[in-house]
Amino acid sequence: MSGVERSAVIDLGSNSVRMMVVEVARSGAWRVLDEERAILRLGDALARRGVLAEDLARAQYVFSALVARARSLGASRIAAVGTAALRDARDGAAFSAALARQSNVPIRILEGVEEAELGFLGAMHTLAVHSGNLVDVGGASSEISQFEARALRRAASAPVGAVTLTRRVLRSDPPAKAEIDAMKAIADEAVRAAMPDPAQGLPLVALGGSFRSIAKMHRAQVGYSFPSLHNYRMPPTAITELRERVLRLPQHQRLVVPGLAVHRAETAAAALTLAQAISDHLAPSEIVISGSGLREGMLYQRILPGQREIPDDVFAPSVRNVLFQLGEQPDEDVLAWAEQLLAALSPLLGQGEPGIGGAAAQLRGIGRRVNFYDRNRHTFTLVASARIFGLTHKQQLVLAASASYEGPRHTRDRMQGFGTLVDRADILLAQRIGLTVAYAEAMARQAPLSRPRITATIEPARIELRLSGVERPPDVPFDEAARLGGQFGKVFGRKLAVRHVDD
């Protein structure tokens, strides 16, 4: 693509080292080209000796390989940061300088509050949460922030993480009662010291690998059917239930707990204890999992043009990103018809939906990138699995079904695969939005370049659409418009009549 730049961000965490390579357009739209992770566990060395020198050779190999990979993909800029292990180790500055010399990429060691601010920036660009608390349980520290009206009010860092707490306390497998009590006491004290007067009862946005691991276990436990973890919601009681379960298990049995990654089995007890301490202290109304965090925060702060400020709307930019990722442009003819039809039929399309109809018109038929003749099925899969922000998982399924509409039965069949999330009302809403957008596409095909004005009279058994600004067609109906027009009776419970009127 012309007019794009490739960049990379690298996060040297206390548990893992992660890299993300992105392609950014001048418009600010972006897409991920590659990600990589290596489990270095720098927090282990920090907990044992307070220095990292023993891991220098391994870290140099990993960091240099990640830098080389980013450059091979055409990254012209590489931004790298280090977190708690580099921050707290006595040789952290020398360690990072050695990595930088070998790779020719400088590493900025973040203060705890800076780390919290970057995590907040990444999460708030991708979640529509108005006010709450935010937490990131890392390998050697835990960051806690409070935000109000999507503005960061305060941020703090507790010098304890899942790796360092494990190394500091645990000797038995499974943990002995005295070790469990000691872990809880350390975690409670660290959390209280970091945020002594918390704002309680608010949503808790949780990011980082420890909380994602907790969410994966909960999702497997309840049989949740949507594939994305981002914006996954779970009750605070889930942490208590999972902690009690994991603390009873020896490590070899934790390896087979559904949702718990092998590399997190060893530190799961400590991670859940820290999560419990945070939940007890903040008393959240719910826990909202963020798949975005520090690396995305680096992206918005250092790479993307003009995106350091937290946006009020995260939905519309994410739809533009999906189109950019697929190299697609919305069909302006379809958008013109859809805008008018959606407005005219709005009394029948539900209240409070955040622009799903307009987004469905933009994403209509993107599955042709895979196969034109099976584009609707592919459109559903692409939209349902895309990183679309600002919607609940249920709303994203409604959007996917609306954008891929080809008939009421197809919509029902696609959505029923997510029976734990959707009900009959959701299916009907998707059918109605989808039929409206599909009919707009059909009308745009038979009257290209027109910009109609549409009003509607909605009666118990009839919908009359009045079209102006559109040339009256001869009495030879286009096949698709006629087919879809015939579906209004089944989907809306009203027959469709179309009348052309003079301006």
- Reduce the secondary structure of 205-238 to three states and give it as a string: EEECHHHHHHHHHHHHHHCCCCCCCCCCEECCHH
The helix or strand, by DSSP H or E, that contains position 272, with its residue range, turns out to be helix 268-282
> What's residue 61's pLDDT?
95
Q: Which of the residue ranges 68-72, 235-239, 415-419 would you say has the lowest mean pLDDT?
A: 415-419
Q: What was the pLDDT predicted at 482? A: 87
> How many residues belong to the chain?
503
Please say if the pLDDT value at position 478 is more than 80. no
Phi first, then psi: what are they for 56, rounded to 5°?
Answer: -65, -45
pLDDT tens-digit profile of 332-374? Answer: 999 999 999 999 999 999 755 669 999 999 999 899 999 999 9
Structure-token match 């949507």, residue found? 226
- Topology (CATH) of 113-293: Nucleotidyltransferase; domain 5 (3.30.420)
- What local confidence, expressed as pLDDT, does residue 26 receive? 85
Is residue 73 very low, low, confident or very high in pLDDT (cuts 50, 70, 90)? very high
| Dist. CA 386–CA 323, nearest whole Å | 10
Distance between CA atoms of residues 390 and 313, nearest Å: 8
Give me the pLDDT at residue 308, please: 77
User: Do residues 187 and 276 lie in contact, with contact meaning Cβ atoms separated by under 8 Å?
Assistant: yes
In which residue ranges of the chain is CATH 1.10.3210.10 found?
315-500
- HEC string of 400-447? HHHHCCCCHHHHHHHHHCCCCCCCHHHHHHHHHHHHHHHHHHHHHHHC
Q: How confident is the model at residue 502 (pLDDT cuts 50, 70, 90)?
A: confident
Task: Grade residue 477 by pLDDT with cuts at 50, 70 and 90.
Answer: low
Share of the chain above pLDDT 70, in %: 97
**What's the confidence (pLDDT) of residue 351?**
59
Residues of the chain with CATH 3.30.420.40: 4-110
Q: Distance of alpha carbon 283 from its chain centroid, rounded?
A: 24
Asked whether 133 and 287 are in contact (CB, 8 A), the reply is no
What is the Cα–Cα distance from 42 to 56, expressed in whole angstroms? 10
DSSP H helix total and E strand total for the chain: 21, 14
Looking at the predicted structure, is the pLDDT value of residue 81 above 90?
yes
> Which residues have CB under 8 Å from 348's CB, separation 6+?
432, 458, 492
Per-residue pLDDT band for 466 (boundaries 50, 70, 90) equals very high
Tens digits of per-residue pLDDT, 126-155? 999 999 999 999 988 999 999 999 999 999
Angle between helices 162-169 and 177-194 (to 10 degrees): 140
In the chain, residues under CATH classification 3.30.420.150 are: 113-293
Mean pLDDT of the chain: 92
Q: What is the pLDDT of residue 503?
A: 67
Checking if the pLDDT of 173 tops 60, the result is: yes
pTM of the shown model: 0.90
How far apart (Å, rounded) are the C-alpha atoms in residues 175 and 186?
A: 15
Tokens of 67: 């830098």
CA-atom Rg of the chain in angstroms: 26
CA distance 83 to 90: 14
Exposure string over 90-115, b if 16+ CB within 10 A, otherwise e: ebbeebbebbbeebebebebbebebb
Give tens-digit pLDDT for 371-397. 999 999 999 999 999 999 999 999 999
Domain 315-500 in CATH 1.10.3210.10? The answer is: yes
Assign domain 4-110 to its CATH superfamily. Answer: ATPase, nucleotide binding domain (3.30.420.40)
Sheet of strand 77-82: strand arrangement: 30-38, 17-25, 4-12, 77-82, 107-109
